[in-house]
């Protein structure tokens, strides 16, 4: 079952985390920890195409869904990342309807879009699935997710959500608070986000966001988010390592 199908029928908020460390061992550990999905972060980490490919194969082999956040909204990475066979793509900093149409169109096959044919890629099972199945899966099972990260995008949310082929959306609260200078709990920002959630709910579109910890993840689910990234692999490891060292305290050598 692909992530799009699961997210529509789960009846609960799916829990994931960001992958920033280009190592397969951490991906395996995240899978064993019980995350529903991971998001390979090519925007804010050293993850490149090859490391994203290997992480995808390992995660999906362990039953974990994979999204990739591409580096930017330029579109140059869309084709190759999709042909890795990922469950979907997040596109950062989509600012309006025109940009949404361009990036979403790059993830859909002609005649509705501009994605190129790559049946001999991993997305096409290296040619074993046949063209019809490759095209069907690409158009019907791939999550195409713009990230709305500034106030203008939230104000234009209704038009963006009506972009043909868009089937989920992500609220980037970090950049949203940075660009507005407002805290996440600002009443005005909350109204904008709640409006987006209502517009998406009316269109049966999943909405995702990222949070720092489990308590915030529960609050996001209660608010109406369908999928949430909790922390990231680097912070999880760093926090656990720092806590372990703090717990050990000063290690004083017993005198002879």
Beta strand extents in 64-180 (DSSP E only): 65-69, 88-91, 143-148, 169-171
Q: Counting beta carbons within 10 angstroms of the beta carbon of residue 216, is it exposed (0 to 12), middle (13 to 18) or buried (19 or more)?
A: middle
Whether 56 is in a domain gets the answer: yes
CA angle 18-65-198, nearest 5°? 75
**For residue 120, what pLDDT is reported?**
97
For residue 237 the two structure tokens come to 């490891």
Give tens-digit pLDDT for 152-173.
999 999 999 999 999 999 999 9
Q: Which domain holds residue 126?
A: 3-236
The pLDDT value given to residue 212: 96
**DSSP conformation letters of 88-115:** EEEES---SHHHHHHHHHTTS-TTTS-P
pLDDT < 70 positions in the chain? none
Q: What's the CATH number where 170 sits? A: 3.20.20.60
In a domain, residue 26? The reply is yes
What are the residues whose beta carbons fall under 8 Å from the beta carbon of 96, sequence distance 6 or more? 152, 153, 156, 159, 160
The answer to the question of residue 249 being in a domain is no
For the stretch 60-86, pLDDT in tens is 999 999 999 999 999 999 999 999 999
Q: Is residue 242 part of a domain?
A: no
Residue 241 located in a structural domain:
no
Instruction: Please report whether residue 243 resides in a domain.
Output: no
pLDDT of the residue at 137: 95
Specify the pLDDT at position 9.
77
Q: At what angle do helices 24-33 and 49-61 cross, to 10 degrees?
A: 30
Question: Within a domain: residue 13?
Answer: yes
Q: Which helix (H) or strand (E) holds 229?
A: strand 227-232
Q: Count of alpha carbons within 13 Å of 243, Cβ hemisphere only?
A: 6
Looking at the structure of the chain, the number of domains it has is 1
């Amino acid at each position: 079952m692909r992530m799009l199908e699961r997210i529509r029928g789960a009846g609960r908020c799916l829990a994931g985390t960001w992958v920033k460390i280009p190592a397969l061992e951490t991906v395996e550990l995240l899978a064993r920890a019980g995350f529903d999905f991971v998001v390979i972060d090519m925007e804010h980490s050293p993850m490149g195409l090859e490391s994203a490919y290997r992480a995808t194969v390992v995660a999906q082999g362990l039953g974990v869904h994979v999204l990739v956040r591409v580096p930017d909204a330029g579109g140059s990475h869309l084709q190759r990342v999709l042909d890795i066979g990922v469950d979907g793509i997040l596109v950062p900093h989509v600012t309006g309807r025109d940009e949404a149409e361009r990036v979403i169109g790059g993830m859909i096959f002609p005649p509705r879009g501009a994605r190129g044919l790559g049946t001999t890629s991993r997305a096409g099972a290296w040619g074993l699935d046949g063209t019809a199945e490759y095209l069907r899966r690409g158009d019907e099972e791939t999550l195409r997710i713009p990230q709305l990260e500034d106030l203008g995008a939230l104000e234009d949310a209704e038009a963006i959500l009506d972009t043909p082929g868009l089937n989920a959306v992500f609220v980037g609260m970090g950049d949203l608070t940075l660009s507005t200078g407002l805290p996440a709990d600002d009443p005005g920002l909350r109204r904008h986000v709640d409006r987006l959630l209502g517009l998406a709910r009316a269109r049966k579109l999943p909405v995702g966001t990222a949070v720092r910890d489990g308590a915030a993840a529960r609050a996001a689910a209660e608010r109406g988010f369908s999928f949430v990234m909790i922390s990231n692999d680097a912070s999880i490891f760093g926090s656990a390592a720092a806590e372990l060292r703090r717990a050990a305290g000063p290690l004083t050598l017993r005198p002879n």
